[in-house]
């Protein structure tokens, strides 16, 4: 059983004496719940879970871990499937008590603490008819999703979450707290917008908000497999049809309503129902088995894809500052991997991917809750920003592909992950940007979304030409690589050794 020496725990308690910090170690009440992750495959017997309530307390924990050379990581939402928010035998800094959100409706900016979830932001902003570009799921952490890039349903209009980040308060490896922005520590601000998890703890983030004074049209549709070609046909027209206010996802999952794998579609239109139904009329004409698309408040939008194994609570809250309760989440083993595709899609290829996915689910029935999505969010605003303007290096004429595989039996870990990897890699190899003639990474980016990338993917594939600068900045801000549990970016001097 991995654990920290009693002397180390005692010193940690002394360091935090007089605070309201909660320290959970093996054998203590609440420890088993404290180490629980969204994916059971990431649960680790950590040395200590330290739950803080202030920035100073969090800084003290980082400083202690660094001084004593204790393996360390931060947990915000805890939804990483690579184990980035847990660490065997080390210290997990748990930010679940730091979820305050503050909205300035006059300046149209919003600040959120490092443990906030996207639901917290969505609900708070909606009180003032505002919205922030964020995740397409509301039960995941704001900091992690943002620092890796941050796609959302408003990306087509306003770019990525990192493109709307105004400043961030970061706890550095030595425990110091600084604010970074275009004016303050701009080199660090460049790095955290795409690789922030490797440079510190984002304890507070400030976003540009956007007016959102109306409901949106959105929801899911389920189709039988024979409608796949019609859906691909619409997807291939999406770039010419969209004005940035729409989103169109399609993919595969199992359904109790159908005997074989089904086609799951997600539609989004930032406007009224009449215009939305006209825009998506070729899709609706394919006669879905289930149609759950309708007008909804924006602050409900990012909950429509929440996994069934996560219970999210929503309250009607007033006031300027809000705190939402911690989510309760349990679930099976999970693995997230991604790729990219360019349009037009080849219908024969997509059908072959469908049959391969369906075959995996038939071979492993316990994985029937798995999903694979082709995520068509307008990319014009994203691509307007050069790939070297921030650390985020995946700005180009392509779309993300995401796959979340779910299963229960630990003995299947290696097999299912292998099948998932092969499937996702085949999509990128045949239909991704790197397969296109005259592909230029410096201009078109890597095509790899860091938040969807597996932990075993080389950093060169994720950050491309930005990696050398990131390594130099690691030498400046985190020379001993305290923050290494995400994509392990080493300082330049180490990379040469």
More confident site: 43 or 153: 153
In this predicted structure, the answer to whether residue 313 has a pLDDT above a threshold of 60 is no
Q: Are 221 and 420 in contact (CB under 8 A)?
A: no
pLDDT at 493: 61
In this predicted structure, the answer to whether residue 310 has a pLDDT above a threshold of 50 is no
More confident site: 43 or 191: 191
Q: What is the mean pLDDT of residues 161-190?
A: 98
In this predicted structure, the answer to whether residue 311 has a pLDDT above a threshold of 60 is no
Which pLDDT tens digit goes with each residue over 135-145? 898 888 999 99
State the pLDDT confidence band at 83, using cuts at 50, 70 and 90: confident
Give per-residue burial for 392-423: e unless 16+ CB within 10 Å, then b. Answer: bbbbbbbbbbbbbbbbeeeebeeebbebbbeb
Candidates 391, 443, 483; CA nearest to 199 is: 483
Tokens representing 365 are 């029935």
State the pLDDT confidence band at 301, using cuts at 50, 70 and 90: very high
Peptide linkage before 344 cis (omega within 30 of 0): yes
Q: What is the mean pLDDT of residues 352-366?
A: 95
In this predicted structure, the answer to whether residue 7 has a pLDDT above a threshold of 90 is no
Among 18-27, 33-42, 97-106, 317-326, name the one with the lowest average pLDDT: 317-326
- Of the chain, the percentage scoring pLDDT greater than 90 comes to 76
In this predicted structure, the answer to whether residue 315 has a pLDDT above a threshold of 60 is no
Q: Which residue reads 């995401």 in tokens? A: 402
In this predicted structure, the answer to whether residue 77 has a pLDDT above a threshold of 90 is no
Tokens representing 434 are 């790197």
pLDDT at 171: 98
Candidates 238, 375, 219; CA nearest to 302 is: 219
In this predicted structure, the answer to whether residue 150 has a pLDDT above a threshold of 90 is yes
Q: What is the mean pLDDT of residues 176-183?
A: 98
pLDDT at 326: 38
- Alpha carbon dihedral 189, 195, 201, 203, in 10-degree steps, equals 60
Domains observed in the chain? 6-94 (3.30.43.10), 101-211 (3.30.465.10), 216-310+327-452 (3.40.462.20)
Q: Are 227 and 144 in contact (CB under 8 A)?
A: no
Which pLDDT tens digit goes with each residue over 216-243? 999 999 999 999 999 999 999 999 999 9
Which pLDDT tens digit goes with each residue over 466-497? 999 999 999 999 999 999 988 999 987 644 44
pLDDT at 482: 94
Phi, psi of 329 (to 5 degrees): -140, 130
Candidates 197, 49, 216; CA nearest to 129 is: 216
Which pLDDT tens digit goes with each residue over 85-98? 888 889 999 999 99
Tokens representing 83 are 């184990």
Among 216-220, 316-320, 420-424, name the one with the lowest average pLDDT: 316-320
pLDDT at 2: 58
Which pLDDT tens digit goes with each residue over 425-443? 999 999 999 999 999 998 9
What is the average pLDDT score of the chain? 90
Residues 6+ apart with CB under 8 A from 290: 220, 221, 222, 257
Alpha-carbon gap, residue 103 to 305, rounded angstroms: 26
State the pLDDT confidence band at 341, using cuts at 50, 70 and 90: very high
In this predicted structure, the answer to whether residue 9 has a pLDDT above a threshold of 70 is yes
């Amino acid at each position: 059983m991995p654990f920290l020496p009693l002397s180390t725990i005692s010193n940690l308690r002394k360091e935090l004496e007089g605070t309201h910090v909660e320290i959970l170690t093996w054998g203590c009440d609440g420890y088993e719940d404290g180490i629980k992750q969204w994916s059971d495959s990431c649960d680790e017997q950590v040395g200590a879970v330290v739950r803080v309530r202030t920035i100073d307390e969090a800084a003290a924990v980082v400083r202690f871990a660094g001084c004593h050379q204790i393996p360390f990581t931060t947990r915000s939402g805890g939804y990483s499937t690579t184990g980035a928010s847990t660490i065997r035998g080390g210290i997990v800094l748990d930010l679940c008590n730091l979820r305050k959100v503050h909205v300035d409706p006059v300046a149209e900016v919003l600040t959120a603490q490092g443990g906030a979830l996207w639901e917290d932001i969505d609900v708070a902003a909606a009180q003032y008819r505002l919205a922030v570009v964020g995740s397409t799921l509301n039960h995941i952490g704001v900091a992690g999703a943002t620092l890796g890039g941050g796609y959302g349903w408003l990306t087509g209009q306003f770019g990525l979450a990192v493109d709307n980040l105004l400043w961030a308060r970061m706890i550095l490896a030595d425990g110091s707290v600084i604010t970074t922005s275009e004016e303050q520590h701009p080199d660090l601000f460049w790095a955290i917008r795409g690789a922030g998890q490797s440079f510190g703890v984002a304890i507070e983030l400030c976003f540009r908000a956007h007016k959102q004074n109306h409901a949106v049209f959105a929801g899911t549709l389920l189709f039988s497999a024979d409608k796949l070609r019609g859906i691909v046909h619409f997807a291939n027209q999406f770039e010419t049809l969209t004005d940035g206010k729409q989103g169109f996802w399609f993919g595969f999952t199992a359904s109790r309503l159908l005997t074989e794998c089904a086609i799951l579609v997600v539609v989004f239109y930032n406007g009224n129902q009449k215009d939305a139904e006209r825009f998506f009329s070729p899709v609706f004409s394919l006669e879905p088995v289930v149609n759950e698309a309708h007008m909804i408040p924006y602050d409900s939008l990012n909950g429509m894809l929440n996994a069934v194994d996560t219970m999210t609570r929503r309250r009607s809250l007033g006031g300027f500052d809000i705190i939402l309760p911690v989510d309760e989440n349990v679930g099976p083993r999970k693995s997230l991997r991604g790729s990219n595709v360019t349009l037009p899609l080849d219908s024969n290829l997509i059908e072959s991917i469908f049959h391969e996915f369906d075959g995996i689910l038939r071979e492993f029935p316990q994985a029937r809750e798995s999903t694979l999505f082709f995520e068509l969010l307008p990319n014009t605003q994203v691509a307007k920003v050069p790939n070297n303007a921030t650390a985020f290096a995946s700005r180009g004429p392509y779309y993300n592909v995401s796959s979340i595989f779910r299963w229960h039996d630990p003995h299947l870990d290696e097999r299912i992950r292998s099948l998932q990897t092969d499937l996702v890699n085949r999509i990128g190899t045949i239909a991704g940007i790197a397969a296109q003639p005259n592909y230029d990474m410096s201009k078109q980016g890597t095509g790899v979304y860091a938040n969807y990338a597996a932990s075993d993917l080389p950093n060169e594939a994720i950050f491309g030409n930005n990696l050398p600068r990131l390594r130099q900045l690691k030498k400046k801000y985190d020379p001993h690589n305290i923050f290494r549990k995400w994509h392990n970016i080493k300082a330049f001097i180490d990379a040469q050794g």
